Chains A and B, each alone.
Chain A
Amino acid sequence: MSDQSQEVSGVPLLEVEHLTMRFGGLVAIGDLSFTAMREQITALIGPNGAGKTTVFNCLTGFYKPTEGRLTLHHPVKQEKFYLEQMDGFRIPQVAGVARTFQNIRLFGNMTVLENLLVAQHNNLMRASGFSIFGLLGLPNYKHSEAEAVELAKHWLNQVGLYNKADWNAGNLPYGDQRRLEIARAMCTRPQALCLDEPAAGLNPKETLEMNELFQHIKEVEKIGLLLIEHDMSMVMEVSDHVVVLDYGRKISDGTPEHVKNDPAVIRAYLGEEEDEELPPEVAQDMEGENA
């Protein structure tokens, strides 16, 4: 496994070490190790069922990994967080890992703006003295509420939804919902953003805009992005680092160019070259039929 790996330089953000996830007898992820860097887009690719989403589920506390260590190096707090030991809600709150879903999960009955404000719930709760001061309208709370609205506005502008801030999120068109989900994740002020097939169901123009959004997040916000994607042209274009999984194991790791030419990857995607010779019994049967 390691012989196909190629070192990628950068400042480590998220270290996955010997991650194993078993469901009964099924090994969904087996001994997976890779490092995602800061200010880079790390793509996780692999055939269907390779365990990509399971990796995300372990990172965000949906699953407790059977084995392994998931370390987040928080650049602002200068602290290490072991994600596999944290409660689900503390992973976004304290360690700063946010994610989006393959099937969109917005709060459909809330407005677009409210979706972005609820993502900043923790800051607001602290400032509002658990809503008591908020009701009294104390200046401290008003200030942080205004700040929260500012951040929400910023991201609405970034994803081009500013004019739809008062829409119910559930009524937005599909492409808008995808972008709103990313804006909501960004409003939690993450250090690592996990995107599960963000371009699924988007047309080529929207996919292109999505690429630009990721580049912007990488360069301006200076955070690390993890990307699961099936659209190979997108992966090769945006990512700095690609990790290829097959049946829960890493088969390749490196720059897009490295991975593209890795025979192990080609084998996983296109299948093994067929052995020309058939077993003798089969060959006999075939001949019998032809005769």
Chain B
Amino acid sequence: MEYFTQQLINGVTLGSIYGLIAIGYTMVYGIIGMINFAHGEVYMIGAFVSMITFLILTMIGGVWLPLALLAALIMAMLFTSIWGWTIERMAYRPLRGSFRLAPLISAIGMSIFLQNLVQVLQGARVKPMQALISGGFEIMEKDGFTVTISYLQIFIIILTIVLMTIFTLIINKTSLGRAQRATEQDRTMAALIGVNVDRTISTTFVMGAALAAVAGLMVTLYYGVIDFYIGFLAGMKAFTAAVLGGIGSLPGAMLGGLLIGLIEAFWSGYFTIEYKDVAAFSILVLVLIFRPTGLLGKPEIEKV
């Protein structure tokens, strides 16, 4: 039971990170019907920017930790937002209205370009960073096995809940969210009632990128090591999460992320850790065979 609880905590933490990235996939798919394969790289850039921010702040001297976190968060979100906007503007918008595969290929090209850009700029070696937030609560103990939930895990889970609440509110309650849902359902009609469709699509990319940046910051803090290649695997996992939840569905992405995180944690805990990726991707295969619309992805339900 104790061991189970510990895996549950780890799984929810991991799932939060995947969920945040998955939202970017699902929103972009919802609004323009393409998979943004460069999204994993945006997350990787977010991780790098937050690490660089932390290093600069450490160089300057002791900065109060919450302030440092906030600074890293803002910097990472700012940079990835600009990247998200630029990627859409350069790689996807010129191909809008072309055949379906064109933006997909362009996305893969963008992904390779960004990986190599970061490799050239930052070097190919793994970057370590010392833990900024340590310690935690011991919530259970039995036979020498202690269940701990670290402060960092609490931080990650709470931040994820807050961000997802804000996002759900934006999509469902604000004028921007209405425009996004309208654009998703009928792009030409949305333009005919005066919605700036191009800007709405750009905003969607920026929003997805900002969330990916938060996930990048979390990973930097949680694992303490990053390299230019982390975006690929995390991106694929988050994509799996989005498909599992039902691509195009916002609650689906959150649920899918959580499930993928839990599957990975429990598989690593009870079976072999080497095969945790196999477990996660087997889910993708099974979902595509038995429930191609995903868990929450009925074609009629509300998407974005």
Contacts and interface: CB of A to CB of B under 8 A. Distances in A.
Interface in A174-195: 184-185, 187-188
Contacts of B177: 131
Given A107-B181, A109-B185, A118 B174 contact: no
Interface residues of A, number: 35
Interface string A83-97: 000001110110000
A128 to B, nearest CB: 6
Given A109-B300, A131-B170, A124 B175 contact: yes
Interface string B183-195: 0011011111111
Interface in B153-202: 166, 169-170, 173-179, 181-182, 185-186, 188-197
A149 to B, nearest CB: 12
Given A105-B188, A105-B189, A135-B169, 17 more contacts: A61-B191, A88-B191, A89-B194, A99-B192, A107-B186, A109-B302, A110-B182, A117-B175, A117-B178, A118-B179, A118-B193, A121-B178, A125-B175, A131-B170, A131-B174, A134-B176, A188-B194
A160 to B, nearest CB: 21
A243 interface: no
Nearest to B198: A89
A122 B186 contact: no
A90 B192 CA distance: 9
A64 to B, nearest CB: 14
Contact of A134 (B175, B190, B301, B303): B175
A98 B170 contact: no
Interface of B: 166, 169-170, 173-179, 181-182, 185-186, 188-197, 203, 300-303
A93 B191 CA distance: 9
Interface string A42-67: 00000000000000000011100000
A143 to B, nearest CB: 13
A150 B195 CA distance: 20
A254 to B, nearest CB: 30
Nearest to B189: A105
Contacts of B166: 135
A108 interface: yes
Contacts of B190: 118
A114 interface: yes
B194 A121 contact: yes
A130 interface: yes
A118 B300 CA distance: 19
B174 A134 contact: yes
A119 interface: yes
Contacts of A60: 192
Interface string A154-190: 0000000000000000000000000000001101100
Interface of A: 60-62, 88-90, 92-93, 98-99, 101, 105, 107-110, 114, 117-122, 124-125, 128, 130-131, 134-135, 145, 184-185, 187-188
Contacts of B189: 101, 105, 107
B192 A121 contact: no
Contacts of A122: 194-195
Nearest to B302: A109
13 contacts: A107-B181, A107-B185, A107-B186, A119-B193, A119-B194, A121-B178, A121-B182, A121-B193, A128-B176, A130-B203, A135-B166, A184-B193, A188-B193
A88 to B, nearest CB: 5
Contacts of A117: 175, 178
A135 B174 contact: yes
A259 to B, nearest CB: 29
Nearest to B178: A118
Nearest to B177: A131
Contacts of A98: 192-193
Contacts of A131: 170, 174-177
Q: Which residue among A98, A109, A145 has the maximum number of chain B CB atoms within 10 Å of its CB? A: A109
A95 B265 CA distance: 57
Contacts of A101: 189
Contacts of A93: 194, 196
A92 B175 contact: no
Contact of A107 (B182, B203, B301): B182
Q: Which of A90, A118, A184 has its CB near the most chain B CB atoms (within 10 A)?
A: A118
A195 B233 CA distance: 52
A273 B58 CA distance: 94
A169 to B, nearest CB: 10
A172 B203 CA distance: 31
Given A107-B182, A109-B300, A135-B170, A128 B194 contact: no
A98 B191 CA distance: 10
Given A89-B195, A99-B192, A118-B195, A125 B182 contact: no
Contacts of B178: 110, 114, 117-118, 121
A110 B197 CA distance: 17
B185 A108 contact: yes
Query: Which 3 residue pairs spanning A and B have beta carbons closest together?
Result: A124-B175, A93-B194, A131-B176
Contact of A109 (B176, B181, B194, B197): B181
